[in-house]
Amino acid sequence: MVLTTRYFPPHKLLLFLSGLSGRTEVDLLGKSVKNSPIYGLKIGSGVKKILIWSQMHGNETTCTRALCRLIKLIEQSESYLKNLRFLIIPQLNPDGAKAYSRFNANQIDINRDALKLSQPESKVLNKVFTEFKPDYCFNMHDQRSVFSAGDPEKAAVISFLSPAMDDAKTISDSRKESMLLIADINKLLQKKIPGQVGRYNDRYNAECFGDNFSKKGAATILFEAGHSKTDYSRSFSKDLMFLSLKKALNSIINKSFLSGLCEDYFKIPENNQKYVDVIINNATVIDQNLIYHNHQLAIQYDEVLKNKNIFLQPTYHSHGKSLKLYSHSTINLSKKLYSKEFIFKENEIVDISFFPDK
Ligand SMILES: [Zn+2]
């Protein structure tokens, strides 16, 4: 399966920026390891300041695509422009975006560099935070397709976290605000995707930017666009992310979320890693010269960049009589031989017509 839209390299961002109105000021905030520009978009003149950054993990593009739509909306909304002040970094890691990689060009995860500030991209984010002094921080990501939420287990299509500010997980006034804001967004999302919103564990990690900014007093929200069924282009979660962002802005303006309860945040189920992309039922699997009949074979897709497109490459996950896993799609078949070692390397062994678009 080819995923054209999932690839959002710097030239796509440039194309988007060139279509913006004069209401958005596009600033050069700094340069990446490979000297690519990192842009900051300044919009609005309100009192409440919101810092948003996306693609700090270069291969996580769903939120960037949702942000592009949001920026267009902000430009046309007198209410947003009057009440809010935005600094948006749509692509913090342009080198990773180009290479379709989580990491920057030095193979560093920028989101583990909040204390060391060893990378130019981390320095940009830290400097912007220090100078802009945001009331709210939106930290935008994609999560892998392995996450489930709720009981019974459903795929987590959107997930959130109000990052901890210390080991004791103290709920300060600003952290409470982020929890209440998430609870408010969740109310809307439950109407669209009942039971499919997840919450990340809030174990404190000072090296992550979200935790770091939370500690420094900004109401910080981690947004994670997730996976649904066979929507590998993630247009569904992109649209939901757009709605979530819009809801967050409206709530901040009308302050309605402040009357909520932190309990409602904690009621959102924690994410579990219970999903795989595909489960093949009744498979015959060769594993280290042993043959297993009527097994479940779980397959996970790797996203591979080839010729400026993203391809899904099936990889072995696990097999067993009865896997305690759920899958986004299921294939039922019998008398098909799968070799754990070779199935995904030598296409002649697996009937790849079972996989989407092959
Ligand atoms: Zn991420």
Ligand 1 mean position to 146 CA, how many Å?
14
Spell out where the chain has E strands: 2-3, 25-31, 37-43, 48-53, 84-89, 136-142, 148-149, 154-155, 158-161, 197-199, 219-225, 275-287, 290-306, 309-320, 326-332, 337-339
Rounded distance from Cα 275 to ligand 1 centre (Å): 18
Between the CA of 296 and the centroid of ligand 1 the distance, in Å, is: 30
Tell me how crowded residue 2 is: count the other CB atoms within 10 A of its CB.
Answer: 15
* Per-residue pLDDT band at 337 (split at 50, 70, 90): low
Over the stretch 20-78, which tens digit does the pLDDT of each residue have?
Answer: 998 999 999 999 999 999 999 999 999 999 999 999 999 999 999 999 999 999 999 99
Distance 143 CA to ligand 1 centre (A): 7
Collapsed DSSP state (helix, strand, coil) of residue 140:
strand
Pick the CATH number of 275-354 from 2.30.40, 1.25.40, 1.25.10, 1.10.10: 2.30.40
* Cα 46 to ligand 1 centre (Å): 29
Cα–ligand 1 centroid distance for 45 (angstroms): 29
pLDDT at 206 over 70: yes
Spacing, Cα 167 to ligand 1 middle (Å) = 22
Beta bridge partners of 42: 25, 87
How close is the Cα of 320 to the center of ligand 1, in Å?
Answer: 31
Model pTM score: 0.93
219-265: per-residue pLDDT in tens?
Answer: 999 999 999 988 999 999 999 999 999 999 999 999 999 999 999 99
Q: What pairing do the DSSP bridges indicate for beta strands 309-320 and 2-3?
A: antiparallel
Say how many Å lie between the CA of residue 227 and the centre of ligand 1.
Answer: 14
Classified by CATH at the fold level, domain 2-266 comes out as: Aminopeptidase (3.40.630)
Of 104-108, 189-193, 214-218, 313-317, give the lowest mean pLDDT range: 313-317
Dist. CA 208 → ligand 1 center (Å) = 11
The whole-angstrom separation of Cα 89 and Cα 154 is 32
Residue 73 CA to ligand 1 centre (angstroms): 25
Centre of ligand 1 from the C-alpha of residue 77, in Å = 29
Separation of CA 241 and ligand 1 centre (Å): 15
pLDDT of residue 187 exceeding 90, the answer is yes
Domain boundaries, the chain: 2-266, 275-354
DSSP-derived secondary structure for 217-285 = T-EEEEEEE---TT-TT-HHHHHHHHHHHHHHHHHHHH-GGGGS-HHHHHTSPBPB--EEEEEEEEEEE
Q: How far is the CA of 56 from the centre of ligand 1 (A)?
A: 7
